[in-house]
Amino acid sequence: MQLDFVNRELTIKLVYYGPALSGKTTNLQALHKAAEPGASGRLMTLETKDDRTLFFDLLPLTFRSQGSLAVRLKVFTVPGQVIHASTRRLVVQGADGIAFIADSRSNETQHNTDSFMDLRENLKQHGLTLKQMPLIIQFNKRDLPDVRSDAEIAELASKGREPVYLAVATRGAGVVESFIGLLHLTWSALDAEHDLNKKFGFDADAFLLQVAKKLGNPKPIPEILQACVGGALEVLRPEAG
Amino acid sequence: MIPPAATKTFDELTLGHGVSLEDLIDRDALGEMVKSFYDLFGVPLRIFSEEGRLLGDAADQIPLYTYLNTAKNGRALMHEVVSRVKNIALGDDGFASYQCTTGESYRVAAISYDGKRIGRMILGPFVPPNQAEPPAALLNLDSALEAPRLHELWQTMPHAEDDAVVKLARHLGRTLDLLLFSGHRALLTSNMHLASVRESFRELEDKNEKLQTAFDRLKELDRLKSNFLATVSHELRTPLTSIIGYSEMLVEGLAGDLTAEQRDFVQTIRDKGEQLLQLIKGLLDLSKLESGTMSLRKTQTDALSILRDVAQTMTPTARKKDVEIAVEVENGLPLIWADTERLRQVFLNLTENAIKFTPANGRVTLSAKLTSVEAARPEDAGGLVIMSARRTAIEFRVADTGIGIPEDERARVFDAFYQVDSSSTREQGGTGLGLSIVRRLVDGHDGNVRITDNQPKGTVFVVTIPVKRATIG
């Protein structure tokens, strides 16, 4: 997070992580497509080879809160392929929240696990733990055959801590819901740490509502958050001291 | 030249606080673009960075202004206009306009990227197309300025509608935005390239350091092992010398006569003691060789006499096993630079080994001939054509007709304590020290030892020793 007191501007970094070809870039493309003009800048895709991300994608989104605080969301993807480990480490540095995009297909389960371990390792290198990081998990590609069943995911999700979402990013389904979940979680964590709501007279719920609306989802926020199939959307308050 | 953004961090470049107009766009290219806009629309155009540096300028000297500058009031006016236009505050929409008292207008527009103002463009001066005559304020500016001249120069001023200039500014803004986006993209790409390489390098350095630490530790352990072997061997030898000495004295009857049976027993003690002593000597040699404390006393040595001596020494052993032993040496071999005693030990070891693994009626041949080897030299020695890369050497061969050594075992037989047949029921005795000592001694002579097949069966140990001492490297 970067805070510019003079211009009353807050920049939040969100990172879409996950195994190769799980749909991270597709998520960003769907968000870009859903966003009202004016809210979203150009989607920047850095160095691709055969449609595979080599460095990262970057989608800038800007919203202005009622408290006249400008909130700039920088949404990144990491390259999923195993060989780009050092790039992933660079991109994930300084992330305020992470969306882990998993491939729902049964035979991709191992890749999901490997990538998640990789995420944990990279956070560790930056002195962070998964527990400290606002994190949502999205099971993408729900429309493909041979995916892990809804029941299986729901059962696992109910036991886990991270909010879990189902999505078909190619059709935009579940993409905004996942993003709102991530933003909600990230904002709550940042507010818990920096007391932003109070300092800037910021109305977090109104802000989320505005974001959702500008991303083409006019439903009330509690309804959007309910799309989550498991896990907890409450934020762990930092321990006293 | 390193672009200014090269030192900026990934966060500064992506989170939008550290990117400046100069970082994103090439100054010369910007100048060209500005020039082409001016050529096309005829409105003078300047581009400044947010800090006020002029980055692009397409405005010919305006004849009217040149003329105004010749008069005192004219100069003062010019001065004021420049400073007012340059520092004008922009509205929320990013635009501002400035109207001179003398009739010309300026339009100033913000250059924004990713929601941030990173520079401004100044369009003007221009005058409305319908104003054909200079305004009174201009005509009355200074008595030194002549009205006809002012009339004439007024006609050369760029004429444009304010609306059209605003449109032009917007269009220029959009064009610039695209250029800035591409510039940002290229900047991030090159920075990511650098950062990724740096990160991978750091990772490798880390791993190297860990490997080096592990390697140093192993080396230290190895040194400790060699020290331990040397100490233990020495400590074992001292009491053993007494055991052998006193047994000898008993056998020789110095402590009184022994019965035949007693003499037999004591003789066995003595023989086994000798055997044990040889083993310990071997261990000691090995540890000395490993710790580098054994020094070789090299002199000019005759290869033929060493082989003959070895054959002679081993003849009784060979005869006992019904193995024939032969020496074949080319005539006129040069002397080699070697430690005679240690080289003899090498061939005694190899020959003893050969006899041990050769069945009855077999044959062991010791031979030597002249050859040449690739000289070891440092990578950057240079002058390869001049410095002969080959050295003359003598190739010794100890060939047997024994059981042979399987291909995949050949590299390992030189390891200390290694036995091809390591089962407890193996037919052949031995400690497994001999060949490791052989290899270390040969190494000490800048030579090498390898194993090949003997036809139709058996093994050949090939030892190559350079004739002259190494002079290169």
The two tokens of residue B62 are 């305006």
pLDDT, position B424: 45
- Where is the domain boundary, B179, B200, B221? B200
CA–CA separation, B193 and A46 (whole Å): 11
- Which residues in chain B have their CB less than 8 angstroms from residue A56's CB? 192
Asked if A44 and B10 come within 8 Å (Cβ–Cβ), the reply is no
Task: Classify residue A174: in a domain, yes or no.
Answer: yes
C-alpha–C-alpha distance, residues B49 and B57, integer Å: 12
Residue A95 has pLDDT above 70, yes or no: yes
Helix, strand, coil % in chain A, rounded to nearest 5: 40, 25, 35
User: In chain B, how many H helices and how many E strands?
Assistant: 12, 12
CA neighbor of A12 nearest in space, from B192, B18, B14, B10: B14
Which residues in chain A (45-64) have CB-CB distances under 8 A to chain B?
Answer: 46-47, 55-56, 58, 60, 62
Q: Does any domain span residue B239?
A: no
> Sorting pLDDT into bands at 50, 70 and 90, what band is A238?
very low
CA dist B51 and B83 (Å) reads: 14
B190 has a chain A CB within 8 A of its CB: no
A1 touches chain B (CB under 8 A): no
Distance CA B191, CA B24 (A): 12
Q: Is the pLDDT of residue A229 over 50?
A: yes
Assess whether B195 and B339 both reside in one domain. Answer: no
Q: How far is B173 from chain A (nearest CA, A)?
A: 15
Domain end (from B200, B220, B248): B200
Binary contact (B114, A41; C-beta < 8 A)? yes
Within a domain: B401: yes
Question: Which conformational region is residue B466 in: left (phi greater than 0), alpha (psi within -120 to 50 degrees), or beta?
Answer: beta
Digit-by-digit pLDDT tens for chain B (473 residues) are 344 445 677 787 887 666 888 888 888 888 999 999 999 988 999 999 988 889 988 877 888 988 999 999 989 998 999 889 988 999 988 999 999 888 899 999 999 888 888 999 999 899 988 888 888 888 888 888 899 999 999 988 998 999 999 999 999 999 999 999 999 998 888 888 888 888 889 999 999 999 999 999 998 988 888 788 778 878 888 888 899 999 999 988 888 888 999 999 999 898 888 888 887 877 777 777 776 667 778 888 888 888 998 898 888 888 888 999 999 888 888 888 888 888 888 898 899 888 988 888 889 999 998 887 766 555 544 554 555 456 788 899 999 988 888 888 887 888 766 666 655 445 555 555 678 888 888 888 888 888 888 877 888 999 998 887 644 33
Q: Do B315 and B196 fall within a single domain?
A: no
Neighbours of B169 (CB within 10 A): 22
pTM: 0.68
| List of E strands, B60-147 | 95-99, 105-113, 116-126
Q: Quick check: is A176 in a domain?
A: yes
- Write out the two tokens for B287: 């540890």
CB pair distance less than 8 Å for B196 and A56: no
**Cβ of residue B200 closer than 8 Å to a chain A Cβ:** yes
Judge if B184 and B317 occupy the same domain. no
- B199 touching A (Cβ < 8 Å): yes
Is the residue at A236 inside a domain? no
- Inter-chain contact A89–B16, Cβ cutoff 8 Å? no
The answer to whether residue A235 sits within a structural domain is no
Is the separation of the CB atoms in A204 and A187 below 8 Å?
A: yes
Strand (E) positions, B307-458? 324-329, 336-338, 363-374, 390-399, 448-453
Most confident of the following: A24-38, A200-214, B324-338: A24-38
Token duo for residue A218: 């006019």
User: Rounded to an integer, what distance in angstroms lies between the CA atom of residue A119 and that of residue A111?
Assistant: 12
At B420, list the tokens.
């091809």
| Pairwise CA distance, residues A47 & B55, whole Å | 29
Answer positive or negative: Cα dihedral of B75, B81, B86, B89: positive
The Cα–Cα gap between A80 and A23 comes to 10
User: Among B15, B181, B192, whose Cβ lies nearest the Cβ of A55?
Assistant: B192
* Residue A237 domain flag: no
Here the ipTM equals 0.85
Calculate how close chain A gets to B177, using CA atoms only, in Å: 10
For residue A168, the 8-state DSSP code is: B
If contacts are CB pairs under 8 Å, which of residues 14-43 in chain B contact chain A? Answer: 14-17
Contact between chains at B196 and A58 (C-beta distance less than 8 A): no
B112 contacts: CB under 8 Å, gap ≥ 6: B94, B118, B173, B177
Cα angle, residue B108 at apex, residues B105 and B109 outer, rounded to 5°: 145
Determine which of B196, B200, B205 to mutate to test the interface with A (most A C-beta atoms within 10 Å): B196
Interface check for A72 against chain B (CB to CB < 8 A): the answer is yes
H helix runs in A35-142, sequence order: 85-92, 109-125
- Domain boundaries, position B119: 4-200
CA pair distance B351, B357, nearest whole angstrom: 10
Q: What's residue B234's pLDDT?
A: 80
Does residue B30 lie within any of the structural domains? yes
State the DSSP H helix or E strand holding residue B462, giving kind and residue range, or none if neither.
Answer: strand B459-466
**Tally of structural domains, chain A:** 1
Q: Which of A137-146, A193-202, A209-218, B427-436 has the lowest mean pLDDT?
A: B427-436
C-alpha A80/C-alpha A87 separation (Å) is: 10
Answer with the one of B152, B176, B200 that is the final residue of a domain. B200
The Cα A154–Cα A231 span in angstroms is: 9
> Are B318 and B430 within one domain?
yes
pLDDT at residue A241 greater than cutoff 90: no
Nearest to A16 by CA among A97, A128, A124, A125: A97
- Provide the angle, in degrees to the nearest 10, between the axes of the packed helices A175-194 and A24-34: 90
Among A11, A70, A90, the residue with its CB nearest the CB of B15 is A11
Q: Token match 């352990």: residue? A: B221
Taking the CA of residue A120 and the nearest CA in chain B, the distance in Å comes to 17
CATH code (residue B109): 3.30.450
What's the CA gap between A132 and A115, in Å, rounded?
18
Give SS3 for B283.
helix
**Is A221:A209 a contact under the CB 8 Å cutoff?**
yes
Q: pLDDT: is B47 or A230 the higher one?
A: B47
3-class state of residue A76 by DSSP:
strand
Q: Which residues pair with A77 in a beta bridge?
A: A16
Say what the pLDDT of residue B191 is: 87
Instruction: Count the neighbouring beta carbons within 10 Å of the beta carbon of residue B288.
Output: 18
What pLDDT, on a 0 to 100 scale, did the predictor assign at position B7?
60
Q: Does B205 touch chain A (CB under 8 A)?
A: no
Q: Look at residues A76, A186, A193, A190 and name the one whose alpha carbon lies nearest to residue A134.
A: A186
Query: Residues of chain A with pLDDT > 70: what percent?
Result: 96
* Cross-strand pairs, A48: A53
Contact residues, B window 392-431, toward A, CB-based 8 Å cutoff: none
Q: Would residue A238 count as lying in a domain?
A: no
- The CATH number covering residue A43 comes to 3.40.50.300
- Both tokens assigned to B185: 């993209």
> What stretches of chain A show up as alpha helix (H) in DSSP?
24-34, 85-92, 109-125, 150-159, 175-194, 196-199, 204-214, 221-225
In a domain, B322, yes or no: yes
The residue that leads in pLDDT, B320 or A67, is B320
Q: Would you state the structure tokens that stand for residue A124, as one six-digit string?
A: 């560790």
Query: What whole-number distance in Å separates Cα of residue A70 and Cα of residue B108?
Result: 25
Domain limits at A182? 2-225
Contact B320, B346 (CB under 8 A): no
Tell me which chain B residues have a C-beta less than 8 angstroms from the C-beta of A90. Answer: 10, 192, 195-196, 199
Same domain, residue pair B320 and B452: yes
Provide the domain count of chain B. 2
Terminal Cα-to-Cα distance of chain A (whole angstroms): 21
- Closest Cα to residue B350, out of B284, B402, B397? B397
Q: What is the CATH number of the domain that holds B449?
A: 3.30.565.10
B182 → chain A, closest CA residue: A44
* Per-residue pLDDT, B9: 76
Residue B306 lies in a domain: yes
